[in-house]
Structure 1
Amino acid sequence: MKVKVAKWGNSLGVRLPKSAVDVVGVRAGTELELTVEGRDIRLRSMVKTSAQLLEELLDQIDPNNVPPMLDWGPDVGSEIIDDAYSRGEIAMPRARSRKKPPKHHRHGKPNAAS
């Protein structure tokens, strides 16, 4: 796809065609990574790590805008769980390892040793 370089202040700019940005999913304000490889210029979408995304979300939290806690009243019906695990008396059981299925004889019957 051909694009034309244009003057933009003291820099140069390239307009990205709508058909290209629709495929890639970028819009105005999206940060792209520019790399120079030999005599080529490459623009790539920046893939953010989970930590970067979490940091962005945490930056949007306004400590002055915390919703109040709601009192829904006491638990009723199936909300009430009263067992040893819920009371903290036992730990969550570990996942059991899968047992290997018994070996079968070539006629489809289990071996006597199984």
Structure 2
Amino acid sequence: MEAKVVRWGDDLAVRLTPAEAEELGIREGETVEMTVTRKAARRRLVNGEPVPTLAEMIAEMERLGPSHRPRTVDWGPDVGAEIIRDD
């Protein structure tokens, strides 16, 4: 099942179609209890692919070895606000 998260004032709400609400057996005004587990709470793209967390991406990079680590970028000498001169 796919549900859209929308802004409702300062809050976020999950929008269900009438068919989804009927499938879940819920009606407007009812209070529902949601149980979220790490696995079930994962966001998924519309095509069904899971969205990896940063920790998962780093773990995969480490698993693949040094050849998959990003290259260090040489930005050249410091210039501008990052240099603090107290003279």
The structure with the greater share of residues assigned to helix is: 2
Do both proteins adopt the same fold according to a TM-score greater than 0.5, normalized to the shorter chain?
no
The structure, 1 or 2, with the larger RCO (C-alpha pairs under 8 Å, 6+ apart) is 2
TM-score by length of 1: 0.31
The structure with the greater share of residues assigned to strand is: 1
TM-score by length of 2: 0.39
Specify the structure having the higher radius of gyration (Cα): 1
